[in-house]
Amino acid sequence: MLQEDVSVLLQVDASEGNKIQNHFSVPFAILKYCPTSRGLVNIGLAEPEKESHVALDSYRCQLFLQPAGRLEGQYGPSSTCIAWKEQVHLSSEVRSLLQCPSADSSFLPLQVTTLATPDRLAFISSQREDDWDPAYVIHLHPAVTLRNLLPYSFRYLLEGSAEFHELREGSTADILNARIGGEIMEVVLVKYQGRNWSSRIRIAQDMQEFFPVCFTCDSDEKLTVDLSVHVTRPHGRLTLAVFSPYWIINKTSRVLQYRAEDVSVKHASDFRDVILFSFKKKNIFSKNKLQLCVSTSSWSDGFSLDTVGSYGCVRCPANTMDYLVGVSIQMSSFNVTKIVTMSPFFTLVNKSSYELEVGEVQTEEGSVNGKWHYISSSECIPLWPELVTGKLCVRVVGSDSNSKSFFFNKQDNGTLLGMGQYGGVVVDVNISDNSTVISFTDYYDGAAPALVVNHTPWVTITYRQSGSTESRVLKPGQAQRFAWDNPAGVRKLSWNCLEHSSGELDLVKDECGQFAYDGLSQVHWVSFLDGRQRVLLFTEDVAVVTKARQAEELEQFQQEVNVSLQNLGLSLINNDNRQEIAYVGITSSGVVWEMRPKNRWKSFNQRNIRLLEKAYQKHMSGGTPEPGWVKLETNLEVNFGKVPMVMRQPFSSNIRRNFLSGIQVEFKQSPHQRSLRAQLHWLQVDNQLTGAMFPIVFHPVPPPKSIALDSEPKPFMDVSIITRFNEHSQVMQFNLLGNTVGGAAGMVLVSRESVWVKDWLPSPMDKEYQQKKDERELNRPPKDFGERVWPREAWDLQDLKEYHLQLSSVLGPPVGVVMRLKHPGAKKEGAAGFFKGIGKGLVGVVARPTGGIVDMASSTFHGIQRVAESTEEVTKLRPVRLIREDGIIRPYDQEDAKGYDLFQRSEIKQLEGEIFREHCLYPGHKKTNIIVTNRRVMCVKEIEFVGHFNKEWECLFEHFSRPPHVEGGDLNIYCKELNKLKIQKRDGQEPMRVLHLKYPATAQKLCEAIEQAQSAQRQHRMVKQKSQRFLRLGDKR
């Protein structure tokens, strides 16, 4: 019987073929053509803004559309079918236009624009198959969409249609019958300024992106309103957005007029709707200026309406006063209209429980000009100042006495005004670019400028406002609240104690002092904040003063949160090609030794840390007696045997072995301050793409070892913010501790005669620095071979000097280079080992144009530079992640990543579609690995000196004579073509290669990887073969 491979379909998971997405506001019935009945059959309904599916049995049928829902019966099926499979191989996007004829032949047909785009199938794309039948998403779009971006509704009528349709403000409508062939659409703006305005728009393909539209109304006067239309074409459909370039809102309660060139618009005071304003220029986005008139004032200077987010004040001069109008300009959410708000610059707000009257102060004595502005409780009214004094006073309705005058054009964060029998009110003046708000609130505890307390047993204090003649006397043991006698005067408090002392305070900051009283005692005074109240305290008790000054600093924290993360990594992966792009890692430090001389732990410097760690490791290995004291090179004496470990020289302290976390966050909060400290030890960004020019994109650059040895280990970033605040105030004080990223990490700013930013450049060598270094070497008298051969006086011979300089510039100082070459170093560390101990001079030799003398890989050259500069190599945090063929992101596996990285770095020519599977070390063979892919098994060896890889042998799966076999720690591979493997075959023995892998688990893992790869390869071949029917035994006979 003939045996053949047969493809069998085991399971069907998909029930849909193509998808139809309806972007109309009406549903559509999906019809298919049935060849047997020669008619159309309904197979589904496409709801608005939803996705419907086409069953697999209708996948290759001709599909038609018919409007449904409220349009059912008004239109017939489309005259043509949806086109996509006829042009699928010509373009990735297939467009077509369908027409559904109207039931009434006098009306236009309904237009449907279709766009077919390929459906993204994750499984097919992961298998990299191109011979599957395509699956498409068919989008249904109206030919024209109309948007109303006005604060008013309008009606529209398309040429050839039956009736008007209303489109409310901010809404969108589909123009179902538009053919985009030059038809006219009439638009009527409804009830704008009490009138209806009409205009016409011609719909065509050649419409500009922005064009103006003039609306007129039926009246004796020739009134017009200029609007604009924004034309866009998303997804192939035409969208017309009707908008106004400017909306103007009047909040002044005054009649406003706007003027710009030939445009003049009047804005009534009681008209709360929006004015639609537009300039007459052809380009609506060109720079234009507007003039403003308030009531009977003159026109203001021109100001621009184009600066979005700006605020300002416009002055309109009048006969007896100037009108100040605040102007704010904001961009609308749809980004084509600017909203301009006109508001009074001065506003009165009454937040108190009294009915108040506010008047302008006419003279310095405080007389009012006779005009009082009534403000009821919780009311806000505009203020149009008529005087230039800039002062106001306030009184309670029905009262004959008024408060002291205060400035309303200067910032004031709260001033207590005396109101006679009614107590007092607090006035706040808040000034911004486009407004000044004057608020009145009731008195509250702490509203007084100061509380003066006399805590002395016999001292009498006199105090007053600076510049005032009214003084107050404060006897021992008394306390009084102090208010400004003249809020518009100098706001300072003056005090004196008879002939002993005097002072002046501004009451806005903490202060303290002292003076002698009668030669026997000292009187201390302190100004501090108690809640919202400023307190001025006089006392002889030093402890009271100290406690008052340190009330905030010594308070206990109520909340304390510590968050510590040892390591944190972020892997960026491209799902499309199943490849890791980058890895961002925040890692902790190495071992850090700390001491505790007082109440907190403090790190040793780097030199002592290395010595302590070396001594500790020796102690743990049994190299020192236990217990016992160990003296280090830096004269430290420590004892590792005690618990806790201690140090007695140079001073006595506990010590510990610790490390710095990758991320450390401390948060503390008390009633009056909040503390936040954040530390980030090491931040590194690795480029995980194969063959990247800069494998490490970002990493901190530590200072040179000569400097770092004497400094403590510091995190890459250390920020501490202490916020002091008052529970009754929104004004906070910030104290920032810590420096920039470079400073916090201990970067060296003066090394290499370069600013510290250059140390962050990803380039392996600074060309500008190298050029300057070459110039310095050429201009400096030599101190090497040439100077020892010829005396200094011989340099007068210019030819000899030039000869020596040329020799030095090409080869550098030749003496010392040859003497320090170490062949064992080269054998141990490759080409970079040649140059250990030479110093930085040789880096200049290699970096010059004669670098071909050391013709090596770029990585070897970097190693030379690194060794010569005595710096540590910064390596990748981890190998690139391995993502299997199915595209599933699994937890990171270190061994798989190492093998995949080895497979990528080996640069061995890969077979078509070859994918890494497994790897392991080859015991008994130095720097040799066995790699298993989906196509073969191969042995790869790294060449030490040049860092390249060599393929020792390989076995393709198609050459296997039988499956591999495991015997103990050995893996047997049976391959037909062993001649290429250079293995002698005994007579009668099956060709076989034995891999001695030492461990049975390793051999079994490799064997399973080979079997899985072979099975996947067979399934892959069967999927690509066409299905075959089973052959009956009778047919073979």
Looking only at the bridges linking them, the beta strands covering 436-442 and 346-350 are parallel
Residue 70 has pLDDT above 80, yes or no: yes
The structural domains of the chain, ordered by start, are 16-142 (no CATH), 145-243 (no CATH), 246-344 (no CATH), 346-442 (no CATH), 450-549 (no CATH), 568-744 (no CATH), 763-868 (no CATH), 894-1024 (2.30.29.30)
C-alpha dihedral sign at 443, 444, 446, 452? positive
Q: How confident is the model at residue 787 (pLDDT cuts 50, 70, 90)?
A: very low
Residue 130 has pLDDT above 80, yes or no: no
Q: Do the beta carbons of residue 956 and residue 969 sit within 8 Å?
A: no
Sheet containing 579-587: give its strands across.
568-574, 579-587, 682-687, 696-698
Q: Give the mean pLDDT of 337-355.
A: 93
Question: What pLDDT does 66 receive?
Answer: 92
Question: What pLDDT does 37 receive?
Answer: 83
**Phi, psi of 277, deg, nearest 5:** -120, 145
Question: What pLDDT does 759 receive?
Answer: 36
What confidence tens digit (pLDDT) does each residue in 627-643 have?
Answer: 678 888 777 888 877 78
| pTM tops 0.85, yes or no | no
Residue 1003 has pLDDT above 80, yes or no: yes
Q: Give the mean pLDDT of 136-144.
A: 88
Of 181 and 449, the structure prediction assigns the larger pLDDT to 449
> Exposed/middle/buried for 158, CB within 10 Å: 0-12, 13-18, 19+?
buried
> Exposed/middle/buried for 509, CB within 10 Å: 0-12, 13-18, 19+?
exposed
What confidence tens digit (pLDDT) does each residue in 963-980 have?
Answer: 888 888 888 888 876 544
Which residues lie closer than 8 Å to 266 by C-beta, 6 or more apart?
255, 256, 257
Of 474 and 625, the structure prediction assigns the larger pLDDT to 474
> Exposed/middle/buried for 781, CB within 10 Å: 0-12, 13-18, 19+?
exposed
Q: Which two tokens stand for residue 440?
A: 């009145």
Q: How confident is the model at residue 366 (pLDDT cuts 50, 70, 90)?
A: low
Q: How confident is the model at residue 243 (pLDDT cuts 50, 70, 90)?
A: very high
Question: What pLDDT does 339 receive?
Answer: 93
Question: What pLDDT does 738 receive?
Answer: 47
Question: What pLDDT does 232 receive?
Answer: 92
Question: What pLDDT does 711 receive?
Answer: 78
Q: For residue 135, list its beta bridge partners.
A: none
Question: What pLDDT does 271 receive?
Answer: 62
Residue 99 has pLDDT above 50, yes or no: yes
What confidence tens digit (pLDDT) does each residue in 419-470 have?
Answer: 888 888 999 999 998 899 999 999 988 889 999 999 998 889 999 999 888 8
Q: How confident is the model at residue 875 (pLDDT cuts 50, 70, 90)?
A: confident
Q: How far apart are CA 97 and CA 112, in angstroms?
A: 6
Q: Do the beta carbons of residue 825 and residue 838 sit within 8 Å?
A: no
Q: What is the mean pLDDT of the chain?
A: 77
Which residues lie closer than 8 Å to 555 by C-beta, 6 or more apart?
670, 671, 672, 673
Residue 528 has pLDDT above 80, yes or no: yes
Roughly how many angstroms between the first and final C-alpha of the chain, as a whole number? 9
What confidence tens digit (pLDDT) does each residue in 711-763 have?
Answer: 778 888 888 888 877 665 565 555 555 443 433 333 333 333 333 333 333 33
Residue 679 has pLDDT above 50, yes or no: yes
Q: Do the beta carbons of residue 148 and residue 169 sit within 8 Å?
A: yes
> What percentage of the chain carries pLDDT values higher than 90?
21
What confidence tens digit (pLDDT) does each residue in 811-846 have?
Answer: 344 333 333 333 344 444 444 444 344 333 333 333
Question: What pLDDT does 213 receive?
Answer: 92
Of 516 and 861, the structure prediction assigns the larger pLDDT to 516
